[in-house]
Amino acid sequence: MSYSSQIDLSKLTKRNYEKIFLKRNPFPSTAIPEDLPQVTVDRDNIIRHFQSVISSLYQDSSSSITVLVGGYGSGKSHLLKIFKFNIFSQLYDLTPATLPIYIKSPGTSFLDFFIAMIDDIGKEKIELVSKRLIKKYINNNLNEVTKHFIKGSIKKEDNILNMDINEIFKKSIIIDFANDFIRYYNPIIKNTELLAALFFVSHPSYNIYAWRWFNGEKLTSEERKVILVSGEIEHHRTAYTLIKPVMLCFKEADMKNLVFLIDELEKILLLSANYRSQYQDDLRHLIDDNPQNLCMFFSITPPEWRKISEQPSAFTRRLEGNIFTLDDFDKERIILLIKGYLHYSRIDGYKDEMFKKVISDEKIKESIDYEIYPFSYNAIDSITKQTGRLSSIILLCRNVLDYYLDKREIYNVINEALIKEYLIGG
């Protein structure tokens, strides 16, 4: 018996996935879905619905709400991230743009919702909105802008419209410039604090203060004074009053359509009745205030969906209509899933006959599909018996693939016997 805390790491070896015609282990190492998911399988009804509502959003600005109901590990988060990836890669660069926003958890109040929204959008996109609005203000108010330039900083030949915003900042009296920017947009946006922070988020010296303000962080009185804000985002009511002005800023910057992808809606059930009721009202008002240009997707587990449904409210009535249930994966879905993950990690030039050269048993050689090699069909039977949950399938596939690489001198392929051995002692 050893009592030492020392663990021998001297014999670590790097697995050679190229031996099985892979560049890497293709299956994610945790149950948390990738930020850029590559594979989705047989969710045709949901995907067709997603295509339909996004098409309506883009073509005639129709808003919609969808609820995905599924157990933990059923692939809800995976789908939401696939939706985000496809919107961002195909619709974000259009004019007007469609902006997807993934919210990992609604948290305990609208303040958490707002901070999660800003975090997912990110500093780069907030700066882009800022610069577009500043440029738009300059283009529409050239005479006013020239009044803010420091005397002697502009030459006759300078073209202000083509000037970089940072260069304009350097040559301007910033406070006057910012105040006129705020006055120009306030009749539309109706929130001077937001406009001030949005203006300064583009400033090379003060953007850190503005970004911290957007994230609800504490600022000193001097820091707030620099970016012309008097308060902070520290209460759910403050966050709620900001959501509509923020969305108006996006629209002014040609980001007309927003798609909220809200995961783990069940977390609101952890709140006390009063807090939950308030939060549900806030979400309901967000829906009601945006009959156009907004799609919302929620995910929730079946027991919690039943609890919410059994207590009718204005919020739950808004959610009824487009409910999609994610059932467990059967054998055919698991085959497609494994094929998909293996496909994206295959070595270049992988062909049907290549895997047969490394298998000695002729019976096995003829019974294996090259698209699922090194998995056999009886291995997939074994996986199907173990679990139908997406996250569990992916983790099991990852682990048995590594286990197989360590046991290749014994096993030609990943089969039922190997999986049994892994589950017992692997």
Q: Which amino acid is at 227?
A: I
Mean pLDDT of 402-408: 92
For the cut 90, the answer to whether the pLDDT of residue 4 exceeds it is no
Q: In DSSP terms, which residues pair with 298 in a beta bridge?
A: 67, 262
Cβ atoms of 228 and 179 within 8 Å: the answer is: yes
For the cut 90, the answer to whether the pLDDT of residue 3 exceeds it is no
Q: Count the domains in the chain.
A: 2
- Report residue 38's pLDDT band, with 50, 70 and 90 as the boundaries: low
Query: Cα–Cα distance between 356 and 370 in angstroms, integer?
Result: 8
- Report residue 9's pLDDT band, with 50, 70 and 90 as the boundaries: low
Q: 349 and 258 in one domain?
A: no
Domain ends where: 305, 325, 345?
Answer: 325
User: Hunting for tokens 């997603």 — which residue is that?
Assistant: 50
Q: 166 and 82 in one domain?
A: yes
Residue 74 located in a structural domain: yes
C-alpha neighbours within 13 Å on the C-beta side of residue 272: 2
Query: Cα–Cα distance between 341 and 76 in angstroms, integer?
Result: 18
Give the C-alpha distances (Å, rounded to integers) separating 301 from 232, 262, 296, 308, 378: 34, 13, 17, 11, 31
Q: 111 and 95 in one domain?
A: yes
Domain ends where: 271, 292, 325?
Answer: 325
Cis peptide before 204 (omega within 30 of 0): no
Q: 153 and 84 in one domain?
A: yes
pLDDT at 63: 94
Mean pLDDT of 407-419: 92
For 205-250, how does the pLDDT look when each residue is reduced to its tens digit (9 = 90+)? Answer: 999 999 999 999 999 999 999 999 999 999 999 999 999 999 999 9
pLDDT at 11: 60
Mean pLDDT of 385-401: 91
Which residues span the domain enclosing 270?
44-325
Q: 295 and 345 in one domain?
A: no
Give the C-alpha distances (Å, rounded to integers) separating 46 from 49, 76, 87, 113: 5, 11, 15, 25
Q: Which amino acid is at 130?
A: S
Q: 336 and 300 in one domain?
A: no
pLDDT at 240: 94
pLDDT at 152: 63
Domain ends where: 325, 353, 372?
Answer: 325
Q: 266 and 196 in one domain?
A: yes
pLDDT at 126: 97
Residue 6 located in a structural domain: no
- The average confidence (pLDDT) of the chain is 89
Q: 230 and 145 in one domain?
A: yes
Number of neighbouring beta carbons within 10 Å of residue 288:
11
Residue 58 located in a structural domain: yes
Q: 80 and 138 in one domain?
A: yes
* Sign of the torsion formed by the C-alpha atoms of 188, 193, 196 and 200: negative
For 347-357, how does the pLDDT look when each residue is reduced to its tens digit (9 = 90+)? Answer: 999 988 888 88
Kindly provide the b/e burial profile for residues 295-321, where b requires at least 16 CB atoms within 10 angstroms of the residue's own CB. bbbbbbbeebbeebbeeeeebbebbee
Question: Cβ contacts of residue 232 below 8 Å, gap of 6+?
Answer: 213, 216, 217, 218, 219, 224, 238
* 35-39, 70-74, 230-234, 338-342: least confident range: 35-39
For the cut 70, the answer to whether the pLDDT of residue 336 exceeds it is yes
Question: Cβ contacts of residue 221 below 8 Å, gap of 6+?
Answer: none
Please count the residues of the chain: 426
For 286-332, how does the pLDDT look when each residue is reduced to its tens digit (9 = 90+)? Answer: 999 999 999 999 999 999 999 988 888 899 899 988 899 998 888 99
Q: 124 and 61 in one domain?
A: yes
pLDDT at 320: 85
Residue 365 located in a structural domain: yes
Q: Which amino acid is at 304?
A: E
Residue 36 located in a structural domain: no
Give the C-alpha distances (Å, rounded to integers) separating 304 from 106, 155, 262, 316: 14, 66, 15, 12
Report residue 306 as tokens: 């039943």
* Sign of the torsion formed by the C-alpha atoms of 391, 330, 52 and 38: positive
For the cut 90, the answer to whether the pLDDT of residue 131 exceeds it is yes
CA 347 to chain centre: 29
Query: Cα–Cα distance between 132 and 383 in angstroms, integer?
Result: 52
Percentage of residues in the chain having pLDDT higher than 90: 68
pLDDT at 310: 85
| SS3 state at 7 | coil
Residue 86 located in a structural domain: yes
Closest listed residue to residue 189, CA positions, set 130, 148, 135, 142: 130
- Report residue 391's pLDDT band, with 50, 70 and 90 as the boundaries: confident
Query: Cα–Cα distance between 122 and 140 in angstroms, integer?
Result: 28
pTM equals 0.85
Percentage of residues in the chain having pLDDT higher than 70: 92
Q: Which amino acid is at 338?
A: I
Q: In DSSP terms, which residues pair with 100 in a beta bridge?
A: 259
Residue 39 located in a structural domain: no
Mean pLDDT of 358-378: 85
Q: 357 and 289 in one domain?
A: no
For the cut 90, the answer to whether the pLDDT of residue 2 exceeds it is no
Q: 267 and 315 in one domain?
A: yes
- Report residue 134's pLDDT band, with 50, 70 and 90 as the boundaries: very high
pLDDT at 352: 80
Q: Answer with the residue of higher pLDDT: 173 or 210.
A: 210
pLDDT at 390: 86
Residue 35 located in a structural domain: no
For 175-187, how does the pLDDT look when each residue is reduced to its tens digit (9 = 90+)? Answer: 999 999 999 999 9
Residue ranges with strand state E in 342-400: none
pLDDT at 30: 67
